[in-house]
């Protein structure tokens, strides 16, 4: 990849001028000027996902300059480099090839690296299929001969969030197995899990790429202790413990037999790993054929991203608009607002995807950046948010660009429809209303009503509008669509990293935090009970107070 600072491009200078002349233009004016704005600023993907970005503070000239920014920073070359398997994860010396877990869009016969990947992926998929079918059909049994009823995924970060969001989103496709996710080392979370499961009918999936992640291993070893206390014999672990890792040695050392280890590879980043064997919980939950549909949907988005002109390329447009707001308007956060209960936790997944990937302050030239990298990503269920934080959206002093995500169709039975016929229409009425009010406000309408009635409080009822948003309308939440949706955000994140000249695939800040925590853990459990004194006065004081109170407790 080329290492070009965006602020030194011609496009960036043009965007600075665009901002000065455009910053006070209201969206009402934009829509009045251009009657075809909705058609011009929207993209239909596969007739399954419709992306409307017309309610943004942009015009055609700004979009052209943003696309020029992508071209000047050589985004197209970077996309090709990633898909061809080049080592674009420079700081870790790795390729970034998670896309090839979900199918090819290039001719693999012309690339030995891709050919090798496809062979490995096919072997892994075959093993995942066989294993999942045995568990679902009751052939795989616990050590007492009982069928598996529960599955516990022990992992953190991408090893937790990816499978979790897919299983939650695709609830209508789920089978009889019950799923639990153990990521938190908080003892309250651990104890709560143990109350919900029976060890002799539970399968434990230890998902850790390195098999050295401290939170995951802490939980895994504690589960192992509880299991052996009941089962008495280590050989019974063979019926209940599965490892998903690239560190085969450490997985075996833990006690997982070779046949129960599913391999992943160093070219699969943790937060991009749900397409790999890390997705085994998904396969167990919805079946292998549905998992293949997830991969197919993602592969279709890969093709869209790779082949589409930037003017009609959803991930690229999303990335550019967010850069426009974060760096020129100084809008520092993005809210993700799902209007579908199945998608309620997608903001958590996108938080990690965006902020862990692009939350950097050093560029690819190894220099401190002077511009904004990734915005703060947050959000929550749209309908609940309307009675919580939307007031700030509408009348607060901060402007927060939003991604509204809603669906046309829902999964319900004929029996349920008779009772809930108008629920979804009411929900989606709010979806449409909120983006409209954010964009256009109510100033004229409210002012006229209030002045006629002599209401002296009319000024407090003003909604100025001009608050930007994207609307992502999904035809129906299916495995195929979920694959496409997640891949869309992955490629958005990649595009931003390229344009902003940062490395998106490492997370050294997170790694240092883990090392520091391990050191403090040894201080807390110091057998000599020495007073801690090697940190700052605040950290020393807090650790020593913790140790003091711990003894009393």
Which are the contacts of 313, defined by CB distance < 8 A and separation ≥ 6?
Answer: 43, 304, 305
Name the residue among 96, 130, 477 with its Cα closest to residue 283: 130
Phi, psi of 405 (to 5 degrees): -125, 120
- Residue 227 to residue 240: CA distance in whole angstroms: 9
Sign of the alpha-carbon dihedral angle for 355, 278, 503, 343? negative
Specify the DSSP class assigned to residue 328.
Answer: I
Sign of the alpha-carbon dihedral angle for 273, 277, 283, 285? negative
**Three-class SS string for 453-470?**
CCCCCHHHHCCCCCCCEE
Cα 92 off chain centre by? 22
Name the residue among 439, 488, 440 with its Cα closest to residue 468: 439
Task: List the catalytic residues.
Answer: 356, 387, 514
Would strands 202-207 and 241-245 be described as parallel, antiparallel, or unpaired? parallel
- Residue 105 to residue 264: CA distance in whole angstroms: 21
- Residue 501 to residue 363: CA distance in whole angstroms: 5
- Residue 329 to residue 23: CA distance in whole angstroms: 8
Q: What Cα–Cα distance (Å) separates residue 288 from each residue in 168, 349, 479? A: 17, 23, 11
Strands (E), 219-351: 241-245, 261-263, 333-339
Dump the DSSP string for 403-456. Answer: EEEEEEE----HHHHHHHTTHHHHHHHHHHHHHHHHHH-SHHHHHHHHHHTT-T
Q: What Cα–Cα distance (Å) separates residue 460 from each residue in 304, 386, 389, 433, 464? A: 46, 18, 17, 20, 11
SS3 207: strand
């Amino acid at each position: 990849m080329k290492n070009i600072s965006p602020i030194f491009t011609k496009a960036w200078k043009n965007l600075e001028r665009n901002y000065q002349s455009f910053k006070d233009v209201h969206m009402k004016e934009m829509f009045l000027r251009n009657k075809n704005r909705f058609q011009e600023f929207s993209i239909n993907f596969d007739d399954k996902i419709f992306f409307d970005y017309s309610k943004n503070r942009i015009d055609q000239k700004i979009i052209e300059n943003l696309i020029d920014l992508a071209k000047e920073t050589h985004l197209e070359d970077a996309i090709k480099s990633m898909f061809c398997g080049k080592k674009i994860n420079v700081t870790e010396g790795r390729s970034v090839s998670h896309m090839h877990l979900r199918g090819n869009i290039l001719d693999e016969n012309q690339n030995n690296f891709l050919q090798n990947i496809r062979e490995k992926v096919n072997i892994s998929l075959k093993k995942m299929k066989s294993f999942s079918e045995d568990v679902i059909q009751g052939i795989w049994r616990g050590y007492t001969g009982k069928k598996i009823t529960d599955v516990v995924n022990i992992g953190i970060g991408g090893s937790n969030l990816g499978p979790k969001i897919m299983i939650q989103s695709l609830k209508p496709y789920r089978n009889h197995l019950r799923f639990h996710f153990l990521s938190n080392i908080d003892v309250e979370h651990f104890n709560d899990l143990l109350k919900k499961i029976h060890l002799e009918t539970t399968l434990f999936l230890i998902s850790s790429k390195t098999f050295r992640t401290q939170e995951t291993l802490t939980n895994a070893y504690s589960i192992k202790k509880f299991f052996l206390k009941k089962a008495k014999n280590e050989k019974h672990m063979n019926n209940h413990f599965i490892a998903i890792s690239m560190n085969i040695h450490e997985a075996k050392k833990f006690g997982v037999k070779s046949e129960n280890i599913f391999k992943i590879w160093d070219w699969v980043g943790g937060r991009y790993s749900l397409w790999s064997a890390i997705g085994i919980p998904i396969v167990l939950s919805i079946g292998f054929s549905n998992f293949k549909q997830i991969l197919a949907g993602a592969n279709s988005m890969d093709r869209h991203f790779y082949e589409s002109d930037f003017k009609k390329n959803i991930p690229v447009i999303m990335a550019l608009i967010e850069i426009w707001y974060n760096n020129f308007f100084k809008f520092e956060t993005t809210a993700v607002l799902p209007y579908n209960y199945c998608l309620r936790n997608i903001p958590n997944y996108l938080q990690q995807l965006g902020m862990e990937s692009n939350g950097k302050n050093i560029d690819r030239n190894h220099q401190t950046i002077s511009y904004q990298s990734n915005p703060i990503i947050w959000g929550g269920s749209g309908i609940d948010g309307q009675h919580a934080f939307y007031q700030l959206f509408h009348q607060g002093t901060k402007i927060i660009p939003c991604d509204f995500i809603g669906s046309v169709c829902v999964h319900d039975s004929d029996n349920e429809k008779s009772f809930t016929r108008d629920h979804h229409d009411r929900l989606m009425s709010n979806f449409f209303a909120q983006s409209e009010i954010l964009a256009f406000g109510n100033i004229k309408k409210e002012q006229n009503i209030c002045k006629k009635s002599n209401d002296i409080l009319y000024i407090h009822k003003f909604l100025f509008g001009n608050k930007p948003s994207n609307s992502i309308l999904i035809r129906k939440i299916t495995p195929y669509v979920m694959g496409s949706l997640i891949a869309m955000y992955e490629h958005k994140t990649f595009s931003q990293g390229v344009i902003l000249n940062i490395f998106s695939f490492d997370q050294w800040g997170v790694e240092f935090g883990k090392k520091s925590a391990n050191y403090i853990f040894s201080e807390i459990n110091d057998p000599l009970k020495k007073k801690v004194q090697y940190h700052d006065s605040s950290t020393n004081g807090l650790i020593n107070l913790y140790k003091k109170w711990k003894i009393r407790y």
